[in-house]
């Protein structure tokens, strides 16, 4: 009986891998998510509601002060957005004057995290094909890159997190001599950036951002800061250890960049 279950498991795994390679979920995973998803959403909203209620009770006075501060920040942000809109318009006008193609502003799809599996470095979001999500789109928060969409269904998608050892992202340091490389995850608080060329000046504390050498992931999305360096002289390459800027366990909402 146990052997039979194991054999079934092997076949299910092969079926799942074949479906994932094709960019979609296998029927079993789809069915499971359809059954468990609504219940998980209920648990999540209850847990959030309870946590917020308790936080409100404990921190009522400081929340009122925080609320006032946030209102003034919203007013400042509205001013900033107006300026940003004007400057963007100027950039587009100048590009037109120089006969350059339009910069192609990317659409953003808001999505809520409906599942997070730290062991597997994956997240399930409540946006899918119906909202225009497709495989390879980056998911971001205000703090930086969260991950890349791996499979898409009609109303949900799965994101492979930036901390995943199996995900490779083109990244570069943001300093006077930017150096590009490939970034992969190692653990929840450490990513590894393997540079394509060695000998360049990279310092601890430098920001690492997406390199943009991809059709889907634009340049300049923050990933984290360098917190360690390693020279691997055998290959003439240099590795940098990066502390991710996004605290993934706390992420509740993301934007998917089209």
User: Which residues would be at the binding site for another protein (CB under 8 A)?
Assistant: 1-2, 5-6, 8-10, 12-14, 16-17, 20, 25, 28-29, 31-33, 35-36, 39-44, 47, 51, 114-120, 122, 124, 150-151, 158, 165, 185-187, 249
- What phi and psi, each to the nearest 5 degrees, are found at residue 93? -65, -45
Smallest distance from the beta carbon of 205 to another protein, in angstroms?
24
Of the candidates 216, 229, 217, the residue with the CA atom closest to the CA atom of residue 179:
229
Which of residues 131 and 150 has its CB atom nearest to another protein in the complex? 150
Which of residues 185 and 222 has its CB atom nearest to another protein in the complex? 185
For residues 133 and 110, is the Cβ–Cβ distance under 8 A?
no
Which of residues 35 and 81 has its CB atom nearest to another protein in the complex? 35
Smallest distance from the beta carbon of 239 to another protein, in angstroms?
14
Which of residues 115 and 244 has its CB atom nearest to another protein in the complex? 115
Of the candidates 45, 202, 73, the residue with the CA atom closest to the CA atom of residue 142:
73
Q: DSSP alpha helices (H): ranges in 59-127?
A: 60-97
Q: CB-based contacts of 125: which residues, under 8 Å, 6+ apart?
A: 111, 112, 113, 114, 133, 139, 156, 157, 158, 159, 254, 256
Smallest distance from the beta carbon of 164 to another protein, in angstroms?
10
Smallest distance from the beta carbon of 249 to another protein, in angstroms?
5
For residues 171 and 193, is the Cβ–Cβ distance under 8 A?
yes
Structure tokens at 17: 């891998």
Smallest distance from the beta carbon of 43 to another protein, in angstroms?
4
For residue 195, with 0-12 CB atoms within 10 Å meaning exposed, 13-18 middle and 19 or more buried, which class applies? buried
Smallest distance from the beta carbon of 10 to another protein, in angstroms?
5
Which of residues 32 and 232 has its CB atom nearest to another protein in the complex? 32
Which of residues 197 and 253 has its CB atom nearest to another protein in the complex? 253
For residue 229, with 0-12 CB atoms within 10 Å meaning exposed, 13-18 middle and 19 or more buried, which class applies? middle
């Amino acid at each position: 009986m146990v052997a039979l279950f194991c054999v079934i498991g092997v076949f299910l795994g092969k079926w799942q891998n074949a479906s994932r390679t094709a960019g979609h979920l296998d029927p079993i995973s789809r069915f499971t998510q359809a059954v468990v998803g609504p219940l998980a959403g209920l648990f999540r909203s209850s847990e959030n509601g309870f946590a917020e209620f308790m936080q409100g009770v404990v921190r009522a006075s400081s929340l009122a002060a925080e609320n006032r501060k946030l209102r003034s920040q919203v007013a400042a942000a509205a001013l900033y957005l107006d300026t940003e809109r004007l400057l963007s318009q100027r950039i587009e006008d100048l590009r037109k004057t120089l006969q350059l193609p339009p910069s192609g502003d990317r659409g953003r799809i808001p999505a809520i995290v409906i599942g997070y599996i730290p062991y597997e470095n994956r997240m399930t979001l409540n946006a899918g094909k119906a909202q225009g999500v497709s495989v390879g789109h980056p998911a971001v928060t205000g703090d930086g890159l969260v991950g890349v969409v791996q499979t898409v269904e009609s109303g949900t998608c799965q994101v492979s997190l930036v901390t995943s050892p199996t995900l490779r992202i083109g990244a570069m340091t943001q300093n006077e001599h930017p150096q590009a490389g490939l970034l992969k995850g190692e653990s929840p608080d450490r990513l590894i950036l393997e540079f394509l060329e060695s000998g360049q000046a990279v310092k601890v504390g430098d920001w690492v951002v997406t390199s943009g050498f991809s059709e889907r992931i634009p340049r300049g999305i923050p990933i984290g800061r360098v917190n360690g360096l390693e020279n691997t002289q055998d290959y003439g390459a240099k590795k940098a250890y990066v502390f991710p800027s996004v605290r993934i366990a706390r992420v509740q909402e993301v934007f998917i960049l089209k």
